């Protein structure tokens, strides 16, 4: 029954077709060129970076074609629990270790990746990205430019794969196009280009949608100052950043749920939904894990509010301590290390193949927690269940990346109103009996009052 195939789409593919072979070769060559740059092999990055990235992207596109387009459109989950990569087998663990190690280097040891310090030139893999960085923002690459480029490549290429996989489902297709556009333009190209155009001004975050508290340094003194000194563009970012989390977010969340952010425009969510799609079934659906999740995610939100309050208090009073404790040492630094780097980065993505693709979003993201409060108590969004049609098969729960045991609700005809739901819509897509629908309608009938099974006139059992 176990199959150690590493095919991403379909197990037991006895023979790869020509298209698949070519695409695997392209991806391998692209990765090889990329990996070679780790070892400081001297070649001209101006040629080899585009060769590497485009062969990876082209390879993934061709591979997706060979996997999905030769079959009728429909749910493509065959073998998900048999494959080593997607069922926590050897390949999954190796990938988890590789990703985690990469994040450890990225956050804490960027010099190992070739980041030049004290004015030295970049070497290694970071220097590989210098030419592209110069084109976009006029500077040599930093580790975050390199990371942003890889990140965006993953979302674009694997987003394309996702679109083919769910091509029969317009909600998924449209949502994923928005995910790709948000990442490519709002999070990557526009900020980099603006950075280049404003190279005389100090750095501040220019991703229009990356708001506090997800962007935890937004209210740092240096960041506020850089925005204030950043001319009208900087001031606009400062005002927008505050309006976005304080006014815009609650309003949109009221109308459509937190999905507008989490599974449509967010960068973390974007990676989860595209590159992480193969791992959604790995999230635990146990009630005990749900209990843990509620404690930890709200603890992170509280931590971020306390930390930010301390920093803002210091900023306005021109002090550096709060209640006699140094704010940086006791709040800001631990938050950045524990939450910003270790949780959201290392664990958040590194553990995709082990704990599922939404580890950070589910257990750690303070913005998700903040929007979750609105979604739970004041929103028009819910997942409606369809009368008596549920057969308790478990496909919905299995595919919930946030670990919601969807079928527990569906099988008793109860609408799903959960703080954590990111509205990806995959539960609805995989349901074989048409039971689930993501909806925004009247608040009044949000918790429906239908009988558990419609159609039994003997008795009407209510929840």
Binding site for other proteins (CB under 8 A): 1, 11-14, 72-75, 77-83, 168-171, 174, 286-287, 384, 386-389, 391-395, 397-398, 407-408, 411, 425, 428-430, 432-434, 437-439, 450, 452-459, 461
436-440/381-385 β-pairing: antiparallel
Min CB(67)–other proteins separation in Å = 14
Min CB(194)–other proteins separation in Å = 32
Please name the residues in contact with 328: beta carbons below 8 A apart, sequence gap of 6 or more.
Answer: 320
* Burial of 459 (C-beta count, 10 Å sphere; 0-12/13-18/19+): exposed
Residue closer to other proteins (CB basis): 46 or 454: 454
Residue closer to other proteins (CB basis): 38 or 81: 81
Element (H, E) at 325: strand 325-326
Min CB(290)–other proteins separation in Å = 11
> Under a CB-based contact definition with an 8 Å cutoff, are residues 4 and 84 in contact?
yes
Min CB(264)–other proteins separation in Å = 12
Residue closer to other proteins (CB basis): 181 or 189: 181
Residue closer to other proteins (CB basis): 284 or 320: 284
Min CB(211)–other proteins separation in Å = 25
325-326/321-322 β-pairing: antiparallel
Residue closer to other proteins (CB basis): 206 or 407: 407
143-163 CB burial, b ≥16 within 10 A, e <16: bebbbbbbbbbbbbbbbbbbb
Min CB(296)–other proteins separation in Å = 21
Closest CA to 147 of 197, 92, 110, 194: 110
What is the DSSP secondary-structure string of 334-403? Answer: HIIIIIIIIIIIIIHHHTHHHH-TTHHHHHT-HHHHHHHHHHHHS-SEEEEE-TT------HHHHH-TT-
Tokens representing 435? Answer: 């039971």
> Is 103 in a helix, a strand, or coil?
helix
Min CB(188)–other proteins separation in Å = 26
**Number of C-alpha atoms within 13 angstroms, CB side, residue 81?**
7
Residue closer to other proteins (CB basis): 97 or 177: 177
Residue closer to other proteins (CB basis): 168 or 378: 168
């Amino acid at each position: 029954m176990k199959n150690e195939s590493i095919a991403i789409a379909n197990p037991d593919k006895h023979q790869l077709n020509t298209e698949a072979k070519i695409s695997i070769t392209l991806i391998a060559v692209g990765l090889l060129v990329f990996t070679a740059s780790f070892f400081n092999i001297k070649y001209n990055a101006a040629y080899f970076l585009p060769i590497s990235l485009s062969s990876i992207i082209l390879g993934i596109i061709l591979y997706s074609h060979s996997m999905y387009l030769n079959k009728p459109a429909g749910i493509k989950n065959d073998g998900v629990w048999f494959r080593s990569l997607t069922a926590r087998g050897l390949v999954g663990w190796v990938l988890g270790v590789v990703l985690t190690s990469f994040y450890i280097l990225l956050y804490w040891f960027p010099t190992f990746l070739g980041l030049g310090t004290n004015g030295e030139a970049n070497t290694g893999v970071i220097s590989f990205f210098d030419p592209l960085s110069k084109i976009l923002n006029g500077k040599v690459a930093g580790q975050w430019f390199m990371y942003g480029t890889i990140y965006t490549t993953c979302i674009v290429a694997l987003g394309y794969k996702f679109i083919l996989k769910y091509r029969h489902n317009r909600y998924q297709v449209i949502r994923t196009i928005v995910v790709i556009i948000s990442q490519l333009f709002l999070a990557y190209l526009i900020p980099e280009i603006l950075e280049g155009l404003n190279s005389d001004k100090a750095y501040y975050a220019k991703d229009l949608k990356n708001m506090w508290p997800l962007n935890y340094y937004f209210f740092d003194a240096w960041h506020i100052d850089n925005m204030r000194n950043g001319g009208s563009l900087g001031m606009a970012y400062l005002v927008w950043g505050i309006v976005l989390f304080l006014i815009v977010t609650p309003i949109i969340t009221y109308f459509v749920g937190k999905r507008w952010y989490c599974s449509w425009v967010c960068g973390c969510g974007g990676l989860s939904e595209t590159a992480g799609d193969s791992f959604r079934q790995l999230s635990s659906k146990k009630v005990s894990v749900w209990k843990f999740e509620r404690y930890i995610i709200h603890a992170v939100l509280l931590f971020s509010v306390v930390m930010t309050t301390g920093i803002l208090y210091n900023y306005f009073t021109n002090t550096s301590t709060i209640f006699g404790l140094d704010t940086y040492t006791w709040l800001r630094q631990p938050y950045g290390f524990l939450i910003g780097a270790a949780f959201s980065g290392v664990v958040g993505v590194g553990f995709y193949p082990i704990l599922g693709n939404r580890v950070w979003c589910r257990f750690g993201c303070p913005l998700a927690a903040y929007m979750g409060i609105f979604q739970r108590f004041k929103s028009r969004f819910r997942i409606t269940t369809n009368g008596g049609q549920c057969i308790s098969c478990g496909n919905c729960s299995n595919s919930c990346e946030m670990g919601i045991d969807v079928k527990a609700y569906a099988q008793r005809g109860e609408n799903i109103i959960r703080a954590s739901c990111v509205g990806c819509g995959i539960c609805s897509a995989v349901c074989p009996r048409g039971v689930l629908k993501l909806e925004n309608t009247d608040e009044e009938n949000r918790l429906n009052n239908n009988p558990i099974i419609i159609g039994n006139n003997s008795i009407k059992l209510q929840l």
